[in-house]
Amino acid sequence: MKTRKKVSVLYAPGTNCEEETMAAVELAGGNPRLVFLWDIYHKKERITDCDLFIAPGGFSFGDHLETGVSVATFLEDYFGLLEEAKVPMLGICNGDQTLVRSGLFGAGVAMIQNKSKVFRSRPSRHRVLPSHCVWTKGLEGRVLSFPSAHGYGRFTGDGDLNVVMEYVGASPNGGKIAMITDDSGLIAVLMDHPERPYDNPDGQLIFKSGMSTV
């Protein structure tokens, strides 16, 4: 019998998409469990006690320029432990902000305000590009649809970013990049929501792809 992968879903102040994320993981064949920032920071939980790690969306201390920086400050060293253990990580929306702010993609990478300067919530389409990202393996060339909901969702960075997905048609933030990965291909972030709704067939492809590589 195939063992279901253990997937840790981070819960931190401001998180509000943990239930959808856990439901999406379970539907994709994983075994999700909620892990609390407090327990990780105080060493009641080992952050590496999982097969995959997801930082879900929400409004962590507000959807503004420093979104996610507080959580990143607490867990920066712990994310490094996941990186060293080669545990695949996915950051969604404010989880994206948190992983980017923790420096996993380099000091020059950041999320900046939408060109419209307003919060955008809308259906969005994303083209999967050829890349070494484990979360989109086998999906290259496909166009995936799931919603966006952010005010500071535009990628910017020094040098070349490892782009995984680009927007097709209208972009919610005015930028072209929808998803990036790190040099290893194990860590990826996107501002849009593949877990909404949890049974979105296109979003399920991302979760299933990530779990199939472990």
Provide the annotated active-site residues: 93, 193, 195
Distance CA 185, CA 132 (A): 5
Any bridge partners for residue 128, and if so which? Answer: 165
Q: Phi, psi (5° rounding) for residue 187?
A: -110, 130
5 DSSP 8-state letter: P
CA dihedral 4, 97, 62, 115 (to 10 degrees): -130
**Cβ 102 vs Cβ 47: under 8 Å:** no
Any bridge partners for residue 162, and if so which? Answer: 181
**Cβ 134 vs Cβ 53: under 8 Å:** no
